[in-house]
């Protein structure tokens, strides 16, 4: 573990923490802070007690999926993947992982599957559910395996108010986190979800890229399709 000299000097404009793993683990995580007396406000991934800010950084970079920010004060550690505002908080410091790690940067999938990150619409009226949102699926679909052999990388991009008619499997009443875990289990290529105002969801999965899509609007529902883009 190392600490940037600016942190030791206590300067007020910007400082960095750097965690370097040992014992054969080559991961290195760096966080930047721009000042004390404030903290990020938003949904927490984890709130826990740690031995110091470096331990908080290690948890953010190595343990919790998609942790991009954290707050620290005297052993209190708060991990976050997004924030809404900064608030005055005496004794606290706030940090941003630099650069934010990609969800597939940690070799999270077995070699028989491809790691495919997905985007989220932050304004969606959903609750993630009891499972974490890792930000990727692991798919063994032939489409993604072929793209990997062509040295291409793919991601699932969210498109609002769109629907596809042909699907291989559909299910009701799944929280958002479970929807993506099921996508991995089914080796899906793309998926579609309808979020109803009463909290219900309807999701369909497609294991190939061929599907007929159309714009679709229904009162009281938010329609989202996740489609592959490969480069």
pLDDT, tens digit only, all 231 positions of the chain: 333 332 322 323 344 565 444 333 334 567 777 668 899 888 788 899 999 888 888 888 766 556 878 899 999 999 987 777 889 999 999 888 765 556 787 667 888 999 999 887 655 555 555 556 678 899 999 999 999 999 999 999 888 877 666 677 877 777 777 788 888 889 999 898 887 776 677 888 888 765 555 555 566 677 888 889 999
Domain residue ranges of the chain, discontinuous segments joined by +: 2-97, 114-230
Q: How far apart are the C-alpha atoms of 64 and 39, rounded to whole Å?
A: 19
Residue 12 CB burial class (10 angstroms; 0-12, 13-18, ≥19): exposed
Q: How far apart are the C-alpha atoms of 62 and 55, rounded to whole Å?
A: 10
SS3 136: strand
Question: Where is 193: in which H helix or E strand?
Answer: strand 190-196
- All residues at 6 or more sequence positions from 179 whose CB lies less than 8 Å from its CB, including other chains: 191, 193, 201, 203
Q: Which of 58, 52, 86 is nearest to 72 (CA)?
A: 52
Instruction: Please give the CATH architecture assigned to the domain spanning 2-97.
Output: 3-Layer(bba) Sandwich (3.50)
Provide the CB-side half-sphere exposure for 64 (13 A, CA).
23
Q: How far apart are the C-alpha atoms of 145 and 114, rounded to whole Å?
A: 7
Cβ atoms of 192 and 224 closer than 8 Å: yes
pTM of the model: 0.56
């Amino acid at each position: 573990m190392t600490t940037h000299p600016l942190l030791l000097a206590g300067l007020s404009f910007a400082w960095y923490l750097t965690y370097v793993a040992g014992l054969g683990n080559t991961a290195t995580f760096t966080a930047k802070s721009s000042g004390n007396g404030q903290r990020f406000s938003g949904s927490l991934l984890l709130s826990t007690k740690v031995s110091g800010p470096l331990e908080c950084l290690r948890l953010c970079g190595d343990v919790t999926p998609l942790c991009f920010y954290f707050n620290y004060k005297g052993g209190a550690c708060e991990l976050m993947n997004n924030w809404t505002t900064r608030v005055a908080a005496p004794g606290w410091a706030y940090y941003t992982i630099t650069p934010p790690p990609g969800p597939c940067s940690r070799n999270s999938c077995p070699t028989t599957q491809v790691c495919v990150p997905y985007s989220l619409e932050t304004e969606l009226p959903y609750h993630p559910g009891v499972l974490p949102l890792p930000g990727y699926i692991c798919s063994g679909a032939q489409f993604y395996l072929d793209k990997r052999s062509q040295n291409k990388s793919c991601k699932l991009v969210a498109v609002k108010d769109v629907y596809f008619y042909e699907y291989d499997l559909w299910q009701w009443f799944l929280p958002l986190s479970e929807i993506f875990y099921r996508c991995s289990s089914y080796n899906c290529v793309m998926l579609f979800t309808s979020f109803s105002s009463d909290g219900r969801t309807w999701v369909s999965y497609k294991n190939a890229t061929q599907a007929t899509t159309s714009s679709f609007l229904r009162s009281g529902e938010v329609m989202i399709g996740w489609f592959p883009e490969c480069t």
